């Protein structure tokens, strides 16, 4: 079964108004176009392109895909956040159910009992924060905040206290919690850090974030994190417990089908500091770029350590046709450049142009991609 699917862009406030229209050649809505979801997730299920009243999940008789594929366009920073592992998700979901917290409540941390690993592949230059810096980098950062004579005595006292906290056992965890618990009392600190951007480029990000979220603890937390720039085609994988935030750019994102997010700043939404502390991994972690393994000419796999999703990238031209691919399980194909013809072994065929997608059921064991362009193929090793 091949079904051409589509969806409307989600208009989250952080979404870009131009990235999706400019890249995919679609009409702008005049509102932020943050994400387009291709999957069965109830938050925004994909629909059939020739019958938008029919969802993909209804065609699958209610069966849920274990992954969600998205186009993501960040015009402004997303929240600093982390996701639980499977055990944490199951325990947290059961605990909040027992406490009688409604699933739709804004104070809810766990909306299901699953983990949420994810990966972003850049389509344009993509800016992100991911993982904590090394101990030396954080000490150097704090010491550099103490050096300028222009800052106030009160500011220096707070930063000196942070440096003392960090140099004690479990310093990163305790520094993080101290900053987070100052929420609502950081206006002056953030303002002085913003002024430091006039003296050193390492504070430019903090100045930019403080314009959007003045006084937010995430402005300081961001300085403790690795600042990453992806070139088109590069990807990072974000496992459970990894602190991260997307700052800007267009990408293809794939994740396990979960809604569990613990936020840690740069957001007006609910933040549960205690639960976030339980989920976070407080260790230096500069995530390497995801390895891309060439399977055959024109087909690469993004290598990740989980089974919830598998992502491939196909590059086609007149000389490269991917014939009789045997990718088990239900799959979604998303065309991001050019024009791709997709057919299967039971003689079904659709043509995908930029920004268009199709679902491939596992009833036809093999399918073929032809044409000239780029496509991402998402599937899962889970039954």
Q: In whole angstroms, what is the distance from residue 234 CA to residue 194 CA?
A: 31
The answer to whether the CB of 256 falls within 8 A of the CB of 39 is no
By CB neighbour count within 10 A (0-12 exposed, 13-18 middle, 19+ buried), where does 353 fall?
middle
The span from the first CA to the last CA of the chain, in angstroms, equals: 18
Mapped onto helix, strand or coil, the DSSP state of residue 135 is helix
Dihedral over Cα of 49, 51, 53, 59: its sign: negative
Paired with 334 in beta bridges are 357, 376
Task: For the beta carbon of residue 345, count every other beta carbon within 10 angstroms.
Answer: 13
The contacts found for 190-193 with CB under 8 angstroms, 24 or more apart, are 190/214, 190/215, 190/216, 190/219, 190/220, 192/151, 192/152, 192/155, 193/145, 193/219, 193/220, 193/223
How does DSSP assign 154-190, residue by residue?
HHHHHHHHHHHHHTSTTHHHHHHHHHHHTTTS-HHHH
| Pairing mode of beta strands 357-360, 2-6 | antiparallel
Torsions phi, psi for 211 (to 5 deg): -65, -35
Length of the chain: 383
What token pair was written down for 378? 């998402």
Active-site position among 263, 278, 349, 354: 263
> Which of 233, 229, 207, 231 is closest to 220 using CA atoms?
207
| Pairing mode of beta strands 126-132, 225-230 | antiparallel
Q: In whole angstroms, what is the distance from residue 379 CA to residue 123 CA?
A: 20
What token pair was written down for 125? 């230059």
> Which of 291, 364, 371, 300 is closest to 331 using CA atoms?
364
Catalytic: 349? no
Write out the catalytic residue numbers.
Answer: 263
């Amino acid at each position: 079964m091949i079904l051409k699917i589509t969806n409307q862009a989600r208009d989250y406030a952080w979404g870009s108004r131009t990235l999706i229209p400019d890249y995919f050649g679609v009409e702008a809505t005049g509102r932020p176009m943050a994400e387009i979801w291709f999957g069965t997730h109830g938050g925004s299920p994909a629909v059939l392109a020739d019958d938008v009243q029919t969802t993909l999940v209804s065609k699958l008789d209610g069966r849920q895909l274990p992954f969600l594929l998205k186009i993501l366009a960040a015009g402004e920073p997303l929240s600093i956040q982390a996701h639980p592992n499977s055990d944490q998700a199951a325990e947290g979901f059961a605990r909040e159910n027992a406490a009688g917290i409604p699933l739709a409540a804004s104070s809810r941390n766990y909306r299901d009992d699953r983990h949420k690993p994810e990966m972003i592949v850049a389509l344009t230059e993509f800016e992100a924060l991911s993982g904590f810096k090394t101990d030396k980098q954080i000490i150097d950062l704090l010491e550099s905040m103490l050096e300028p004579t222009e800052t106030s005595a009160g500011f220096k006292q707070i930063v000196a206290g942070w440096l003392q906290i960090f140099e004690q056992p479990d310093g990163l965890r305790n520094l993080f919690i101290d900053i987070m618990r100052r929420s609502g009392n950081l206006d002056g600190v953030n303002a002085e850090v913003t002024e430091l951007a006039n003296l050193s480029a390492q504070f430019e990000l903090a100045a930019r974030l403080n314009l959007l979220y003045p006084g937010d603890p995430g402005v300081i937390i961001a300085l403790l994190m690795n600042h990453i720039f992806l070139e088109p085609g590069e990807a990072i994988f974000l496992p459970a417990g990894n602190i991260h935030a997307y700052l800007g750019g267009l990408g293809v994102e794939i994740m396990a089908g979960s809604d569990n997010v613990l936020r840690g700043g740069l957001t007006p939404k609910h933040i549960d500091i205690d639960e976030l502390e339980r989920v976070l991994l407080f260790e230096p972690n500069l995530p390497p770029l995801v390895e891309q393994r060439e399977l055959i000419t024109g087909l690469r796999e993004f290598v990740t350590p989980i089974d919830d999703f598998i992502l491939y990238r196909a590059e086609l031209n007149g000389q490269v046709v991917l014939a009789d691919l045997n990718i088990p399980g239900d799959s979604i194909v998303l065309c991001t450049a050019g024009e791709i013809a997709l057919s299967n072994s039971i003689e079904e065929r659709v043509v995908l142009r930029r920004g268009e997608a199709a679902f491939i059921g596992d009833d036809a064991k093999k399918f073929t991609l032809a044409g000239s362009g780029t496509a991402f193929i998402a599937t899962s090793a889970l039954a």
